[in-house]
Structure 1
């Protein structure tokens, strides 16, 4: 740290504000907010940073600038605006909203209502933005079905209407417009429709439903049944559209809901806007981490950005954990009931979005997918390096017969079947899993060392503490203990055992790391069982042929080597058998197999 930087740190105020880090070329590196500028900025230099990117950032800092603000809320807003303006290298960036559609109620006499992607500050009202164009179009179609609005862009000033400057068009004749251009509809009546539309796009359906019900009742009482039927159809449209919204609780009104799901590299933030008990907007965004930011930091930044983007002025937000958003917004962390359920629904949406992104990335960017999986496994399994090469061992025997073992190999999270290996147990008598595990682990890595083949970063043992201890004995003999990470996975509760630690670790049942370890274990079991079954089958075949008088083991091996299976031996002609083992043995084999049939 330079002397100039030390002086800057000492003179920072104990006030809320925004700090900016610059490098030796006076290039902006990072922008952050703080409740206490002096404490926050000093924390970067007073301890060793665990995250590699943060260490690199700190090593590049040559000067600090700051802006003092009155409140923490002001710091949040200023940080967000500066990040969007300067886009520093080490700050997370949220996607822009320029392409999202809005529903516009134009500021004019007899206002038009239409979909637009351009927000013009001319006094018009804009509702949205809508992250789904389909949702916006469905809502606009509903409005056009319910209310006969003009679609023309004529200037319908009082003077133009009075002088009959314009004539009604086809929309009027087919019932889609009431003809305000020729004075057939009053401005007051038109504005009542606009007021109802304003309520609908805000999620308030009650006033429009009540209005249509009264109109339908009035037409019905006056025996105007055709008009009553038209109103009923509009009522049904409105009710059906409202039913498609996720209704939470009518008492929950004008609230924003935020949640976050994250992994090593990305955060996924979901946003719900709730009005009159219904979710009227939903949006999920992906944020790339730059400095191992916490969920709290990412969510605070995202809330400010998303509320600005969607023009939200809600005074209350629901979130899954406590946040520092100042005094202007009421932050609620629901503990039970409908409020808790809506936060859980938001979290599920963030999870689903994350899963969809994973599927897309797996197709279009497999390298990124592998890096993410490896980073996650390294963190979850507390490894010093990413487990790019993993080997898993499993023993198989039934009632002590034909003991075998299997070793399966995964590279970059996927099976490498060409590297799979079978082992016939040679030094162990009877069903001794511990001794068998010790033998196969020793044989496997003794061979890899002799052939100078690459060693794995992780060994997985199918079994608990006993099997793990046996495998460790072999690694000790070979001098590999501490050079290769090793764990055991027990079947009963999927607990993970570590060398020297009697207390197992339990991974989240839904975690990708556990799923890969389970896949490894199951693949080793499948591979071992297949070999064991083949060995037993071969033994049964050999014993069947060896029971024939005058036929020994060597003859059986010659037959199986030539015919490949006992079935083909049985189907072979006397001539074919004679060519392999001679006419005398061939006759004995045919006679014995025929009598057995």
Structure 2
């Protein structure tokens, strides 16, 4: 630890805030937040660290920067924004930093409804983010079909209407718009229709249908039959839409189901949005993590990334495990919503547990998909082979693996076999059987030496390369016999392991 860093550690305040660790190139490698900056930052430099990830991080820290905030919730928001902006190596980061689209309901006299990737704090309503663009476009088509919302970008004000600045377009003549540009519909009626759209986007279609039924009855009672027929058609179209939504819960409480699947440095997160017992939306995004990242940290990061956007916060969040900083997260979520939110971690078999299992299966499928994409980029190398190379500390990816075992029948009829795996899959056409010829009595070590010698002497005679990894079934004795055989043939550079039962 350098003198500059020591001085900074001595003068850290005991206030809430955000801290940034920098390496020797003055690049931010980690961003964190704390209720008490002094205690949290100094804890990294204790002697009893047990996490390999933390030890590796501390060894690279050359400088420190802190930002003091008024509250811990402010620190949480700032930390999340800095992580998204700086993408530090030792933080959990979004794998794909592209902005997802939202459906925007503008804040004006006659609101527009359209997709956007740019968030502006201008009082508009945003619905999303839609990780599936096809799903978003489907929602917009539904809105345009059922509701007469204007598609133009005109700045329609009372002054513009009075001066007759605009003329109705084709949408008015084909009955897809009610002509707000010429004042042919009142702002009150138009905004009532926009509020109905918002209910659909929030997944409250059943509530809207009940309201429309009441309006239809009132219109009929007032002899406004054309209006009643229009409302009836809207109800029928909404029934078609809601029939496509899967009923997944008998509980009508608003809830989000969150689950994640992870392997290596890849994390796939799935969020299912359930409103009035129906599955109204699914969001998916991907994260990158460092080795040894705790599951609680992963879920904490998922919650921060997702709910930091313009999304509706439900009353219940059903999740696999209790996230890190649970109390702070709940305070933050409650500050963003006008109602209390709470976490549910189902332990016993229940409806919530079944929903969580369904969400987990979606996350696993998403993880397999990104692993498949990675395999294509890396030349179809399965992740398991990369993990094997890492765990066994091999020099190269073991794309071709040959495995040997021998056996005998009560001391006689000794035989052996070889199985071959290519790119992690069995290649049965390359399997071989051996009859032991030179060993007369039961001797696993000598038998292993014979088959290894026969197999790789033949390869050498044919100028064929060795496999990337040789595996022998047995402990130190069988492994030593195999190595001796390879050395006698003239091989010096090879990868070989032995598999033995743990005592």
TM-score of the two chains, using structure 2 as the length reference:
0.78
Distance 1:455 1:473, change over 3 A: farther
C-alpha contact 2:472 2:479 (8 A) present in aligned 1 = no
Structure 1, 214-223 or 71-80: larger mean CA deviation: 214-223
Structure 1 unmatched ranges of 5 or more: 462-467, 488-497, 502-597
What is the count of residue pairs matched by the alignment?
473
- The Cα of 1:193 is off from its aligned counterpart by 0.8
Structure 1 segment 438-477 matched on structure 2, within 5 A: 440-446=447-453, 459=471, 461=473, 468=474, 473-477=477-481
C-alpha contact 1:94 1:302 (8 A) present in aligned 2 = no
Query: 1:267 is matched with which residue?
Result: 267
Q: Deviations over 1:411-432 (max 9, x none)?
A: 6535578975431232578xx9
The SS at the match of 2:214 is helix
Alignment of 1:353 onto 2:398: no
Query: 2:491 is matched with which residue?
Result: none
C-alpha contact 2:18 2:32 (8 A) present in aligned 1 = yes
C-alpha contact 1:448 1:455 (8 A) present in aligned 2 = no
Equivalent-residue separation in structure 1 for 2:482 and 2:476 (angstroms): 10
C-alpha contact 1:107 1:122 (8 A) present in aligned 2 = yes
Distance 1:437 1:218, change over 3 A: farther
Alignment of 1:185 onto 2:192: no
Equivalent-residue separation in structure 2 for 1:183 and 1:81 (angstroms): 43
- The Cα of 1:63 is off from its aligned counterpart by 2.8
Structure 2 unmatched ranges of 5 or more: 334-341, 486-494
Structure showing greater radius of gyration is 1
C-alpha contact 1:395 1:436 (8 A) present in aligned 2 = no
Query: 1:499 is matched with which residue?
Result: 501
TM-score of the two chains, using structure 1 as the length reference:
0.67
Query: 1:26 is matched with which residue?
Result: 26
Distance 1:220 1:480, change over 3 A: farther
Equivalent-residue separation in structure 1 for 2:291 and 2:477 (angstroms): 41
Equivalent-residue separation in structure 1 for 2:81 and 2:479 (angstroms): 57
Query: 2:299 is matched with which residue?
Result: 299
Equivalent-residue separation in structure 2 for 1:356 and 1:255 (angstroms): 27
Structure 1 segment 150-549 matched on structure 2, within 5 A: 150-162=150-162, 164-217=164-217, 231-249=231-249, 251-290=251-290, 292-314=292-314, 316-323=316-323, 324-325=325-326, 326=328, 327-328=330-331, 329=333, 330-335=342-347, 336-366=349-379, 369-370=381-382, 372-377=383-388, 383=392, 388=398, 390-393=401-404, 404-410=415-421, 413-414=424-425, 421-426=432-437, 435=442, 440-446=447-453, 459=471, 461=473, 468=474, 473-477=477-481, 484-487=496-499, 498-501=500-503
Aligned-residue Cα RMSD (Å) equals 4.1
Distance 1:153 1:285, change over 3 A: closer
> Which fold has the larger relative contact order, with Cα–Cα distance below 8 Å and residues 6 or more apart in sequence?
2
C-alpha contact 1:319 1:343 (8 A) present in aligned 2 = yes
C-alpha contact 1:486 1:499 (8 A) present in aligned 2 = no
Query: 2:336 is matched with which residue?
Result: none
Equivalent-residue separation in structure 2 for 1:177 and 1:26 (angstroms): 57
The SS at the match of 1:366 is coil
C-alpha contact 1:425 1:439 (8 A) present in aligned 2 = no
Equivalent-residue separation in structure 1 for 2:469 and 2:393 (angstroms): 9
Distance 1:446 1:124, change over 3 A: same
Distance 1:113 1:473, change over 3 A: closer
Equivalent-residue separation in structure 2 for 1:199 and 1:289 (angstroms): 37
- The Cα of 1:315 is off from its aligned counterpart by 5.5
C-alpha contact 1:260 1:295 (8 A) present in aligned 2 = no
Equivalent-residue separation in structure 1 for 2:316 and 2:42 (angstroms): 30
Equivalent-residue separation in structure 1 for 2:225 and 2:17 (angstroms): 66
Query: 1:42 is matched with which residue?
Result: 43
Equivalent-residue separation in structure 2 for 1:320 and 1:282 (angstroms): 17
